A and B are shown apart, each in its own frame.
Chain A
Amino acid sequence: MQWKKSLKQLAGALALFAGTALSTAPVAAEELGYPEKEELTFGFIKLTDMAPIAIAYEKGFFEDEGLYVTIEAQANWKVLLDGVIDGRLDGAHMLAGQPIAATMGFGTKADIITPFSMDLNGNGITVSNDIWEQMKANIPKQPDGKPVHPIKADALKPVVEKYKADGKPFNMGMVFPVSTHNYELRYWLAAGGIHPGYYAPHKGDISGQLEADALLSVTPPPQMPATLEAGTIYGYCVGEPWNQQAVFKDIGVPVVTDYEIWKDNPEKVFGITREFAEKYPNTTVRLTRALIRAAMWLDENNNANRPEAVKILSQSNYVGADYEVIANSMTGTFEYEKGDKREVPDFNVFFRYNATYPYYSDAIWYLTQMRRWGQIPEDKSDDWYKDLASKVYRPDIYEAAAKSLIAEKLAKPEQFPDFATEDGFRDPQTHFIDGIVYNGHEPNAYIEKFPIGLKSGQKL
């Protein structure tokens, strides 16, 4: 125990030194108190976009805040959400739709909030080799013989129709009823004239297959490639590395990324219960600070840190897939058909373009899609959309964290939105695959614009 004692003395001396050094400078920690709860457990699903949590841990950003965090992989999104609700987990990497749906009461009802949006983009849609062969004939070619991107679902439509005529169900996989992947897959299919089916929760139908051409069902992300290989589904929409895995295993072909469906779409969020945020305000701000720093690190110097991040993610306790598979999407390229590797520098965005700021308009987009596909069974007013979004998305916590980082010179003000004028709504967004413009201030008008989907006044 001698060494321990001398270590303590050394630590004490260090602390005294640090204390005197700090006392001459204004200490920001006086404004932001110590965390009320120091030992935390965070859950995640094995996807590359959990990176901010892994980086905040490995780079010591959590510890800098005095937080001792244990990170645990979860079996699927339901287990993860239940974990956060029953307190087994203090927070988790969540699908953007999960806190919204939970607060609304679609599925398990619970007040979940998010102070931090984790990333933009990062998903893809993959079809099996067999379907790809059938689709390929319908896709226009570039002069070099490679297919023209983005590939639209119009190319898939004849295939789905053939299956329908033969009386065979056309099954596809997504990861959760309120997941980004579900809405993206539906958006892509519907933009190509394929009906992905309605939900009717008021009639007890939560399968989401009413009137469907393509039948969508839930499969946990890491099992997607195996399920595709088994022939249970013909295609899926999932986050990385599970699209690239299909290319490496030679069992399927990614046809489109969500970047092409909706440029810079919000993806995962960090979810905690409202109770947690109210009970432990300092802890909440501090964990947000750590996550912001991790996101900054991930995008720093034009993605210079990404190879190191990929190495960390490929450890078996995080994502655990091979380095090459994860690197394919994280370092700015994406391999479609084997050998057809294209530059997609913004495939995974963690900090640029205010990726981490929880915009109300992002939450409202998810709500419009929930209404479009019947998960919200009846009409709601524009104000209802805004109220719900402001209950779940908490830019106030984000602002507190960002401002304290700026005060401590750990970040610069120009890295964040201008907090004095920011109202939480992005400018009307134009980059959708079907060219429909989204304005977060007018959700009802937006829903009216879709050829396929429920319109105002329509109820199944």
Chain B
Amino acid sequence: MTATTLATEKLTGIRLPRLDSRFLGSAIKYVALPLAGILVFLLLWSVTAQRIDTSLGKFPGPAAVAEQFDALYQEHQRSREKERAFYERQEVRNAERVAKDPDYVPKIRAYTGKETFLDQIVTSLVTVMSGFLLAVAIAIPLGIAVGLSPALNSAVNPIIQVFKPVSPLAWLPLVTMVVSALYSTPDPVVAKSFLNSLITVTLCCLWPMVINTAVGVAGIDRDLVNVSKVLRLPALKHVQKIVLPAAVPMIFTGMRLSLGVAWMVLIAAEMLAQNPGLGKFVWDEFQNGSSDSLARIMAAVLVIGAIGFLLDRGMLALQKLVSWDKGISQ
């Protein structure tokens, strides 16, 4: 390795063309081909879109969607403007009241305007991450326990298998009713709708993680287990030193699967339960039935896809970072 590096330094002039061609090759592979793919897709999209007539006008093509992205951003800017004005008015009103009624303790109330598209993206991301982290906190300990004990595995397995394929839409009414029955404080810290989506997400993305963790833990190399036995490691140390490091790749595979499920579930849950977020945005636009609605929904579809992709890549990067097995990819 060192030798080649030195050689490169010496013979830069000669090596450059070869480097270039390699660079060119990777440029084609990583930039030109995907770009060509996207271009062909855009072309097909705009051609087909023109041929589909809906009762809300033509199906939106790329140009219409791009226009709506801009419109949504403008809306966001306007809303921020209104928000500023709202707080200014409020300060004036509070001050007026304090002048008249000195006992009054002024309180700044949150902006009452509608969330913009950008706000809804943030809400969705916060919800999905909270639901996912809650699921992680439950699933990994459970998965380790199940993986370590074949008896527990046999006991829990039927339950996991039954709940795993359940759609979020089936859970949602139950979750909604239970949350509104148990969570009734006059001044709630988080909104009920947030809890509803969070719990639905957790319930649906729990299972892939439990299963993968259990499989990972159960499949640890016998030799490693034997080493632990020889050293007479206490149970917790055994988990910490032997089980966890060995099971990390599988645990992370499970987490990646779960995060994908979580994102899909969240959009459906928001749509059905009218919880704030991207799902509600799509539903509201569908209900509006204006001539821009389809283009706005398409814009949301692209954003949902892009975020899903980024979440997956993020998990993959994390997985590579913590895992000793650098062979995994995609």
Q: Chain A 299-322, CB within 8 Å of chain B: the 1/0 string?
A: 000000000000000101101111
Partner of A66, one of B93, B114, B291: B93
Closest-CB distance, A2 to chain B (whole angstroms) = 15
The closest CB in chain B to the CB of A8 belongs to B91
- Interface window among B96-104, B234-242, B250-258, B308-316: B96-104
- Contact present for B55 and A88 (CB under 8 Å): no
- Contact present for A34 and B288 (CB under 8 Å): no
- Complex formed: what's the CA distance from A14 to B89 in Å? 12
- Contact present for A8 and B95 (CB under 8 Å): yes
- Complex formed: what's the CA distance from A11 to B89 in Å? 9
Partner of A15, one of B92, B109, B285: B92
- Contact present for A11 and B95 (CB under 8 Å): yes
At the interface, yes or no: A46 with Cβ under 8 Å from chain B? yes
Closest-CB distance, A228 to chain B (whole angstroms) = 10
* B290 CB contacts on chain A under 8 angstroms: 314, 316, 320-322, 325
Closest-CB distance, A258 to chain B (whole angstroms) = 21
At the interface, yes or no: B325 with Cβ under 8 Å from chain A? no
* B34 CB contacts on chain A under 8 angstroms: none
Closest-CB distance, A55 to chain B (whole angstroms) = 15
Contacts A11-B95, A249-B55, A322-B290 given: A39-B109 contact, CB under 8 Å? yes
- Contact present for A321 and B288 (CB under 8 Å): yes
- Complex formed: what's the CA distance from A16 to B112 in Å? 27
- Contact present for B92 and A14 (CB under 8 Å): yes
Closest-CB distance, A429 to chain B (whole angstroms) = 34
At the interface, yes or no: A19 with Cβ under 8 Å from chain B? yes
* Interface size counted on chain A using CB atoms at 8 A: 46
* A88 CB contacts on chain B under 8 angstroms: 180, 192
- Complex formed: what's the CA distance from A73 to B56 in Å? 21
* A223 CB contacts on chain B under 8 angstroms: 287
- Contact present for A15 and B99 (CB under 8 Å): yes
- Complex formed: what's the CA distance from A69 to B90 in Å? 13
Partner of A250, one of B55, B89, B284: B55
- Complex formed: what's the CA distance from A438 to B289 in Å? 38
- Contact present for B96 and A70 (CB under 8 Å): no
- Contact present for A320 and B100 (CB under 8 Å): no
At the interface, yes or no: A1 with Cβ under 8 Å from chain B? no
* A68 CB contacts on chain B under 8 angstroms: 90, 109, 112
At the interface, yes or no: B88 with Cβ under 8 Å from chain A? yes
* A321 CB contacts on chain B under 8 angstroms: 288-290
- Contact present for A63 and B55 (CB under 8 Å): no
At the interface, yes or no: A137 with Cβ under 8 Å from chain B? no
User: Would you mind naming 14 contact pairs between A and B with Cβ atoms under 8 Å apart?
Assistant: A11-B94, A11-B95, A12-B95, A14-B96, A15-B95, A15-B98, A15-B99, A71-B114, A79-B274, A222-B288, A250-B55, A316-B285, A317-B114, A320-B288
Further contacts, 15 of them, CB under 8 A, given A14-B96, A34-B97 = A8-B95, A14-B95, A15-B97, A15-B99, A34-B101, A34-B104, A39-B109, A73-B284, A73-B287, A87-B184, A314-B290, A316-B288, A320-B289, A320-B290, A322-B290
Interface residues of B (CB under 8 A from A): 55-56, 88-101, 104, 107, 109, 112, 114, 180, 184, 192, 274, 283-285, 287-291, 293, 296
Which 10 residue pairs are nearest across A and B when measured between Cβ atoms? Answer: A320-B288, A317-B114, A249-B55, A15-B95, A222-B287, A11-B95, A15-B99, A19-B99, A15-B96, A70-B112
